[in-house]
Structure 1
Amino acid sequence: MAGFILVELYQSASERAFDAQLDVYVKSILAEMVPDPAAGEDAPVREPKGVGEPRFSLPLSGWYWTVAEAVNGEKVQFASLSLVGDPLDVAPLGSAENRSSFGTGPGNEEVRVRQQRIGLGSAEYIITVAAETAGFRADVRDFANQVILTLVVFGAGLVGAVFLQVRVGLRPLVRLRASLGEVRRGEADEIDENLPVELAPLAVELNALIHSNREIVERSRTHVGNLAHGLKTPLSVISNEARTASGPFADKVAEQATIMSTQIQHHLERARMAAQRRVIGVSCEVEPVLSRLTRAMSKIYRERDVELADAMPDGLRFRGEQQDLEELAGNLLDNACKWASSKVVVHVRQLQQGEATRELFELIVEDDGPGLSQEERREAVKRGRRLDETVPGTGLGLSIVADLAGLYGGRLELDRAEIGGLRARLILPSV
């Protein structure tokens, strides 16, 4: 748009300059036509001879002039030698005093036409001067090319300057983002505060928020530990006293104390997990945890074949504490080993972007045991629900896994395994 406006302005200025030059020749022709004062008032107008431009005398030179009577159908009275008797194709002036326009010369070339109505004595004449526009058009084209080239160079320079300004100007923001990402992945304890004065206060406030969050979590853990110690000791005393006594009352007390202990353990575990879930910037590698757990389960359950089926994705990290990942994976592996006939298979896979709106990975533990029906799978995740009393345990394993996965924004899914038993699919956030 800017280039178009510049070219239009230049063309308008060039046309005005061209018309001013043609006006000079109009005045020269008029001066040549003025009758000789010595011949009296009725002396006829003179034929212009010396207009001051040699090209008016060269045949078909592109420069022409004519003098026509205004009241006689604009009949040509005098004409330049360059016309060699050919007409000059221009529109009649009519009642206008003067006009500038474009026309066609004898050689079919485009000409710029300047017409002027004048009165000499009792007669009116129309002086027409025309000049070819080839040079004028060439000047406009050259100017347009220069404008285009200049604007292209200027635009490229402007784009480059904006690009450099954005790259250099936003570099501190990139550093802040990278530093925040390191904190989120657990690679750093706080954000780098070595930033420009505009961003340094933001980094300071974020670090204060991170430290405050950690202090709150530590206080929560301390309170949970104190509560656990304060409740477990009296319950242990009650349970011991009940076991030393006999009778229905003692049995009922022992039963209720056991239920209370299970409930306290469950809710304290949930409180501890909720406190840990809110820690900012905590993460751990998945491969060392699973490798250690599979080796441990292979030793504990020697008759079971526990294997890590798939190669671990490089650099896969769990967005949470290592202790929680050990508890999640450990409960699933322990449950699978208890029920498996001979084999437990562990799969780990990073979920693709199309499968999740954020970074997630899945941990699948399969066994070749008896498995569970659909109704039993729903019951298995309820806290304290044991489907088989002959197998040791509290019944909290799968419920703890489901609760802890939910606190991390993940989930636990139970289904039928391809190798015949139970398939536990755990989805957790990754870094």
Structure 2
Amino acid sequence: MTAPDSLRRRLILGAGAWVLLALAAGGLVLGHAFADSAEQAFCRRLDTHLRALLAQVETAEDGRITVGRPVGEPRFEQPYSGWYWQVSDDAEVKARSRSLWDSALPVVVAAEPGAVHVRRETGPRGQILEVMERDLLLGDDNRRLHVAVAADRAEVDAEIGRFRLLLALSLGGLGLGLLAAVVVQVGYGLKPLRRLEGELDQLTRGAPRLGGAYPREIAPLVEAMNRVLDHDERLIRHARNHLGNLAHALKTPLAVLRAESGGAPATDTQIERIARLIDLHLARAGSDSSSARAMGRRIPLAPLLADLAAALRKVHAGRRLDIAVTCPPEADFAGEADDLAEMVGNLMDNACKWAGTRVQVSAGPGLIRVEDDGPGLSPEQAEAAAGRGIRLDESVPGSGLGLAIVADLAALGGLSLSFGRSEWGGLAVSLAEKIPPS
């Protein structure tokens, strides 16, 4: 079975995917827009130089082609600078920039005179040149001249590359910032759910209902859960009252049956069994109401154990039992005070009934251990002793419900009940919190 998905992860991944897609699309659009703009600016510069060159082309009286004055770009004067111009006819080059030195640009005749043609060529030093050229007709004889201006594309390509790198770094930083903002926003948005989780945990620790103000999206859920809690509380209260009333109603008929049985052993045994079951359910009816609140409270153990030991010394005064209690002042236990007193009291009373001379009660944070020097129990007997009204020795007075009540209350309170052997060979019973206190 696959692990349940995380709502937080789904929100972050969903928002992160949209952020990355938006930034990627924006980066592509901006990159193409800048590249187009840079290309157009580059072509405009070439066109400006071409027009200036065309304006300077003249025909001398002897028919020679001259350029009136240098075109205003210093790199046209630097050898192999990447910026070149050239004027030629069908036969030879008539004029060229100093940057061409003794090289020449390939000539391509335009489709018609006056039309501007743009192409790419390999330059004298292997550069990729952007060539802008135009043919014009001079003189009465319509002499055809080819005028070309060329520039190294490395300049514009480098400019586009720098912009794309800067754009990638900028969008990458922006993306990381947006993703961090998404994480913070998702955490902030889910904060009410974490608070709701805490309040749900408090329900197991004694809180009666969910409280506090919640956003409108969560408030209906909280209200519905509170209605369910109220409904369950009413059902539990009704069932508990009904069970208590039923058990009390059965006591009078049982008393009549006991009086009319005439001491018949079989009848008395069955009546006693019914009485034990009634006592057990009466005890459960009183414990169910507090079990849901038991985990939320910390009960100091020292005064509770001292009071129980004092009461049992009086009950068993004729046997001169040594009932010793070892409990540090700071020791406490999770539970409802009445339930805890019921459980520990039953354990101590059971130990006193079976002990030879001594009962030892030890306690610490989240742990209570009751030991005696009696005959002890085997694992099978210990499991049976926690059953409903089972008595291992009918000669010992009692209903046989003590350990059963303790087991029920421990289960309702989320506690651990274990049986072992004491250092004197008797029974040792430990009552502990399943999650130790912090």
**Could you tell me how far apart the structure 1 residues matched to 2:286 and 2:221 are?**
31
Aligned equivalent of 1:386: 391
Bigger mean CA deviation after superposition, 404-413 or 296-305: 404-413
Deviation at 1:137, TM superposition (A): 4.0
Aligned equivalent of 1:285: 297
Gaps of 5+ in 1: 351-361
Bigger mean CA deviation after superposition, 127-136 or 214-223: 127-136
**Could you tell me how far apart the structure 1 residues matched to 2:248 and 2:89 are?**
121
- The equivalences for 1:32-431 within 5 A come to 32=56, 46-48=65-67, 50=69, 52-60=71-79, 62=81, 64-67=83-86, 78-83=95-100, 85=101, 98-100=118-120, 113-116=129-132, 127-131=148-152, 137=158, 141=162, 145=166, 148=169, 152=173, 156=177, 159-160=180-181, 163=184, 167=188, 182-186=202-206, 189-192=208-211, 194-242=213-261, 245=262, 250-270=264-284, 273=287, 277=291, 279=292, 283=295, 285-288=297-300, 291-301=303-313, 303-308=322-327, 312=331, 317-318=334-335, 321-340=336-355, 341-349=357-365, 363-417=368-422, 420-428=425-433
Deviation at 1:86, TM superposition (A): 6.8
| Amino acid of the structure 1 residue aligned with 2:224 | E
Would the alpha carbon gap of residues 56 and 194 (structure 1) be closer, same or farther in structure 2, given more than 3 Å must change? closer
1:16 and 2:31 correspond: no
Identity %: 30
| Amino acid of the structure 1 residue aligned with 2:269 | E
**Could you tell me how far apart the structure 1 residues matched to 2:268 and 2:400 are?**
18
CA contact (8 A) 2:27 2:171 kept: no
Would the alpha carbon gap of residues 207 and 123 (structure 1) be closer, same or farther in structure 2, given more than 3 Å must change? same
Deviation at 1:251, TM superposition (A): 3.4
**Could you tell me how far apart the structure 1 residues matched to 2:306 and 2:153 are?**
95
Deviation at 1:414, TM superposition (A): 2.1
Q: Deviations 1:208-264 (Å, cap 9, x if unpaired)?
A: 33333322222222212211211111112222344xx46xxx333323221221233
CA contact (8 A) 1:309 1:346 kept: no
Gaps of 5+ in 2: 1-22, 111-116, 138-142, 314-320
CA contact (8 A) 2:372 2:424 kept: yes
Deviation at 1:158, TM superposition (A): 7.9
**Could you tell me how far apart the structure 2 residues matched to 1:387 and 1:398 are?**
12
| TM-score relative to the length of structure 2 | 0.69
CA contact (8 A) 1:297 1:334 kept: no
**Could you tell me how far apart the structure 1 residues matched to 2:42 and 2:232 are?**
80
Deviation at 1:154, TM superposition (A): 8.3
Would the alpha carbon gap of residues 282 and 365 (structure 1) be closer, same or farther in structure 2, given more than 3 Å must change? closer
Would the alpha carbon gap of residues 234 and 51 (structure 1) be closer, same or farther in structure 2, given more than 3 Å must change? farther
CA contact (8 A) 1:64 1:130 kept: yes
Superposition RMSD in Å: 4.6
Would the alpha carbon gap of residues 380 and 161 (structure 1) be closer, same or farther in structure 2, given more than 3 Å must change? closer
Secondary structure in 2 matching 1:65: strand
Q: Deviations 1:298-355 (Å, cap 9, x if unpaired)?
A: 5524512122369536xx533xx443333233322333344445342434556xxxxx
| Amino acid of the structure 2 residue aligned with 1:81 | R
Secondary structure in 2 matching 1:287: strand
CA contact (8 A) 1:297 1:337 kept: no
CA contact (8 A) 1:345 1:366 kept: yes
**Could you tell me how far apart the structure 2 residues matched to 1:202 and 1:385 are?**
46
| TM-score relative to the length of structure 1 | 0.70
CA contact (8 A) 2:38 2:156 kept: no
